[in-house]
Copies of this chain bind each other. A is one copy, B any other.
């Protein structure tokens, strides 16, 4: 695995340690190469004495599966040097977008191409992941938001014009040493950022929803930073296509869309999602209601941004790609309170 000293890398290792069919191979890092994993991930006691190698194609060669948890722009070249018989799962952004123009606008530079998109619950996605040798793991926001909205869009219950405000814990920003991520700044404060459609997850959300619907979906997305380490709560709404639509009708569409899905839970009526209930688990918790006055559908989803939002989703895709049962090694209970 590349990027073992970061938050996504740490969560991957936590899950892989508990995975019955995985043996953890080489761990690599960038600036932290040469140091012990225990310095960066003290919670991973069984791996404390592992020394981090340099992130190179050589050090990563010879594994059945390689996870890349790298800053965007780093995965493409590395992946090209890994053989097609190695499963490469990219937790970064490089291979998520299908449209080169979108890549250039949002990230800048040349597009590395797109890989099978690692959100099996989207229409048609699971089939492309079974047996894949390359997987692009979705962004954390797109995971929670796409799953909150596509069933209503696909069922024609809402207009393709969605408004989302998603609140997140600070691990989503990674271990970046930036002043606004310091504990003293974060605790006791709420702040919006990337407002007005400029957050890089915006085109990914639009891509997912548009692909599901088969025609363009407009997305207004506002992310908010809140004082907790993990969790995304997404508040999503869209105008009802027919103002007379009631909650029960929408509920049926979601029950149908998620029948048999092991990691999506539409909560019992009246129970709204909390991020705590998903902490450390691969679950998506959903609830919805129709607002008859505003003539909108409101759907709220909760995930753990590091688990289902990154590392859990990645392991789920690894299971599919390698032909293992999809749920192997993935917790369906949260750690609460």
Please report A residues at the B interface, Cβ cutoff 8 Å. Answer: 7, 10, 14, 17-18, 36, 38-39, 41-46, 48, 161, 163, 165, 167, 169-171, 173, 175, 177-179, 181-193, 195-197, 202, 218-220, 222, 224, 226-233, 235, 237, 247, 265, 267-268, 271-281, 283, 285, 287, 289-296, 298, 300, 302, 331-337
A220 is contacted by which of B181, B247, B272, B296 (Cβ under 8 Å)? Answer: B296
**A222 in contact with B170 (CB, 8 Å):** no
Distance (whole angstroms) from the CB of A230 to the closest CB of chain B:
7
Distance (whole angstroms) from the CB of A267 to the closest CB of chain B:
8
**A298 in contact with B188 (CB, 8 Å):** no
A–B complex contacts, Cβ < 8 Å, 13 sampled: A14-B335, A42-B267, A42-B274, A173-B184, A181-B182, A184-B229, A186-B186, A186-B187, A188-B279, A189-B336, A191-B276, A218-B294, A218-B295
Known interface pairs A43-B335, A335-B280; A294-B220 also in contact (CB < 8 Å): yes
CA distance A177 to B291 in the complex (A): 29
Distance (whole angstroms) from the CB of A70 to the closest CB of chain B:
18
CA distance A237 to B48 in the complex (A): 27
CA distance A1 to B63 in the complex (A): 44
Distance (whole angstroms) from the CB of A261 to the closest CB of chain B:
12
- In the complex, what residues of B have CB within 8 A of residue A294's CB? 161, 163, 197, 218-220
Beyond A186-B187, A195-B300, 12 additional contacts (C-beta under 8 Å) are: A18-B333, A42-B277, A48-B268, A170-B182, A185-B276, A190-B275, A191-B273, A196-B298, A218-B294, A220-B291, A226-B228, A279-B335
A229 is contacted by which of B42, B175, B183, B292 (Cβ under 8 Å)? Answer: B183
**B14 in contact with A228 (CB, 8 Å):** no
**B333 in contact with A289 (CB, 8 Å):** no
**B192 in contact with A233 (CB, 8 Å):** yes
Q: Which residue of B lies closest to A307 (CB)?
A: B335
**A298 in contact with B195 (CB, 8 Å):** yes
CA distance A292 to B224 in the complex (A): 20
CA distance A229 to B48 in the complex (A): 26
**B43 in contact with A281 (CB, 8 Å):** yes
**B175 in contact with A179 (CB, 8 Å):** yes
**B229 in contact with A188 (CB, 8 Å):** yes
In the A-B complex, list the 10 residue pairs whose CB atoms are closest, starting with the nearest.
A183-B186, A43-B334, A189-B276, A196-B289, A165-B165, A220-B294, A190-B233, A43-B336, A177-B177, A197-B291
CA distance A177 to B184 in the complex (A): 11
Known interface pairs A197-B291, A294-B218; A337-B191 also in contact (CB < 8 Å): no
Known interface pairs A163-B296, A191-B273, A196-B298; A183-B332 also in contact (CB < 8 Å): no
CA distance A191 to B277 in the complex (A): 10
A175 is contacted by which of B182, B196, B273, B292 (Cβ under 8 Å)? Answer: B182
Most B CB within 10 A of own CB, among A18, A42, A193, A300? A42
Distance (whole angstroms) from the CB of A8 to the closest CB of chain B:
11
- In the complex, what residues of B have CB within 8 A of residue A300's CB? 192, 195, 222
